[in-house]
Chains A and B, each alone.
Chain A
Amino acid sequence: VVRRTLDDDMLEQLEELLIAADMGVDTALRVTANMAEGRMGRKLSTQEIKELLAQEITRIMEPVARPMPLYPKRPQVVLVVGVNGSGKTTTIGKLASQFKAAGKKVVIAAGDTFRAAAVEQLQVWGDRAGVPVLTAPEGSDPASLAFDAMTRAQADGADLLLIDTAGRLQNRADLMEELAKIVRVIRKKDDTAPHNTLLVLDATTGQNAISQVETFQKLADVSGLVMTKLDGTAKGGILVSLADRFGLPIHAIGVGEQIDDLAPFDPQDFAAALTGLDTQA
């Protein structure tokens, strides 16, 4: 086994490895510096170095690796938000299927009344999961659909109400206000709702994810994250910066387009993929 000295050159290479995984420059510097503390000048194999780096990342990520909490509320209201195309609707289909399999009575509200065929898309997911989907006509007010859905879910004694929303970029104040209105209306029916507000992030997104979390948290009270599309080659390194900065729990990851392609967030697997430990012989 070739051993190399842990020196500045080596640190720079490691930083670049992390930057190439979308961790961002600042966080990459910090993570490598922490890893190197007390070890400079030592001779280490590539494997050992990557293991140390992965340990450091795992340490940061462990506190945020938490499944979506369930509360003794009926219905427990889960609002799903995020920018366009991140995977909100698909994730709702997957979640509905998982909760149903766990014996929960689930209802979905098709709160994207804007995008073409968004409702039809979610109806297919509802069928696949075996869960009813409440809809409103295209172009109607999503807040009033959310209100009706609350009424219906309460009447039916549903355990969980999953509310889909239209994709919106966080810099669009008008659309963010629309989201705030949905929340206000839901609270008329239950002032503790929504009990979870999930922000769905796309793993191929770079540094803009920070701004997404910042704004959605401020305006929609995000309680947890889901990262989709980790079945691609994007490593989602931005999650490390996000964990560091916001400490929001990461409930699940999307690893494909099929209904079962939603997995718990595993810090060790994540760190291994990020550092390339997983592909090493």
Chain B
Amino acid sequence: MFENLSERLSGVFDRLTKQGALSEEDVKTALREVRVALLEADVSLPVARDFVRAVQDKATGQAVTKSVTPGQQVVKIVHDALVDVLRGAEDPGKLKIDNPPAPILMVGLQGGGKTTTTAKLAKRLKEREGKKVLMASLDVYRPAAMDQLAVLGAQIGVDTLPIVPGQKPVDIAKRARQQAMMGGYDVYMLDTAGRLHIDQVLMQEVEDVRNVVTPRETLLVVDGLTGQVAVEVAEEFDAKIGISGVVLTRMDGDGRGGAALSMRAVTGKPIRFVGLGEKMDALETFEPERIAGRILGM
């Protein structure tokens, strides 16, 4: 249904003569196709616009060697630029969870995959880094949300904070901190209820939680299939709560994952992990090259 960028560009460049360098007109023509490819991959419009402008400057005047076609040359320039944005200027290093007990706050829209990712990450920290992890659900709204986390905890052998019905999220967070300190945990993870970025009451609630525990990491969990709203969601969560990283879920689907570029571009925060399934092992570190290829349909 969607053509990939190479196909799109091969059509465009058939009409162009091979020259020594990419002219401004060549690049303009090609970048119109790039823009469409990005939008079809769900890159948010303002991000696609900025990206194309930056590539325009970079590509104009670049030499086309004999071994490649102008189309291939543009694809390469675009691909490399995508990888640059996705990777970011500096290496984010490891999660900042050294001082025990280190709180990790998980936030995001409804149904994005927070609870599942909380458990996956807990399992990873336990198995790969030998951390003693406590998980607590602050979701007092969604039916059986707390049970969900408790079941996952039992599956992966990670402790969950005992459920006390009727407690408020901030109080649960305090109890989690206390238990983490007394129980000698290295990390405590706070899974929160899904919330809309425009829901002032619920955004305030998670701000209050943040103020109480001062998380070492605040991870925004987003569905990799997210469309144009990605920019707004990332900006709002970052502005109100201050996120330190992003987890992109459902990348086992056939979505193109343009939200990754949007999130990275507007927040400047690293994409830490991608979710690749429902199983507890289906969490991998983020590879910019892979996502860049997907966005371009390659």
Residues of chain A at the chain B interface (Cβ within 8 Å): 16, 19-22, 24-25, 83-87, 114-118, 120-125, 167, 169-172, 202, 204-208, 210-211, 214, 229, 231-234, 238, 257
Contact = CB atoms under 8 A, between A and B. Distances in A.
Contacts of B143: 120-122, 124-125
A204 B223 contact: yes
A207 B40 contact: yes
Contacts of B232: 233
23 contacts: A19-B39, A20-B228, A24-B40, A84-B278, A85-B111, A85-B112, A86-B111, A114-B278, A116-B147, A116-B148, A117-B145, A118-B148, A124-B144, A169-B252, A169-B253, A169-B254, A204-B223, A206-B228, A207-B41, A207-B42, A210-B1, A232-B109, A234-B228
A204 B232 CA distance: 11
A257 B45 contact: no
A25 B252 contact: no
A170 B226 contact: no
Contacts of B233: 204
B54 interface: no
Interface residues of B, number: 46
Nearest to B148: A117
Nearest to A175: B278
B1 A206 contact: no
B43 to A, nearest CB: 9
B179 to A, nearest CB: 22
Interface stretch (B90-98, B99-107, B255-263, B283-291): B255-263
A16 to B, nearest CB: 6
- The 8 A-B residue pairs whose C-beta atoms are closest, nearest first, are A206-B227, A85-B111, A124-B143, A206-B42, A120-B144, A116-B151, A117-B148, A117-B147
Contact of B2 (A22, A120, A207, A232): A207
A257 B250 contact: no
A42 to B, nearest CB: 26
Interface in B225-250: 225-229, 232-233, 250
Given A125-B143, A208-B255, A234 B227 contact: yes
Nearest to A206: B227
Contacts of A24: 39-40
Contact of B113 (A84, A169, A229): A84
Given A120-B143, A202-B111, A205-B223, 13 more contacts: A19-B45, A21-B228, A85-B112, A121-B144, A169-B250, A169-B252, A171-B254, A204-B233, A205-B226, A206-B225, A207-B41, A233-B197, A234-B227
Contacts of A172: 252
A204 B254 contact: no
Contacts of A86: 111
Contacts of A206: 42, 225-228, 255, 258-259
Contacts of B254: 169-171, 208, 211
B164 to A, nearest CB: 17
A233 B227 CA distance: 11
B142 A121 contact: yes
Contacts of A208: 42, 225, 253-256
A87 B109 CA distance: 12
Contacts of A124: 143-144
Most buried by B among A87, A210, A233: A233
A117 B144 contact: yes
Interface in B1-25: 1-2
A117 B151 contact: yes
Contact of A204 (B113, B152, B227): B227
Given A117-B144, A117-B147, A232 B229 contact: yes
B135 to A, nearest CB: 12
Given A116-B155, A211-B254, A233-B198, A204 B229 contact: yes
Contacts of B196: 231-233
Contacts of A87: 110-111
Contacts of B278: 84, 114-115, 167
Most buried by B among A83, A84, A232: A84
B36 to A, nearest CB: 5
Contacts of B152: 116
A22 B227 contact: yes
Contacts of A16: 45
Nearest to B2: A207
Contacts of B36: 25
A139 to B, nearest CB: 11
A210 B113 CA distance: 21
Most buried by A among B109, B228, B259: B228
Nearest to B146: A117
A19 B36 CA distance: 10
A32 to B, nearest CB: 15
Contact of B250 (A83, A120, A121, A229): A83
A170 B253 contact: yes
B252 A211 contact: no
Given A85-B111, A171-B253, A232-B229, A25 B40 contact: yes
B277 to A, nearest CB: 9
A16 B253 CA distance: 27
Nearest to B111: A85
B252 A257 contact: no
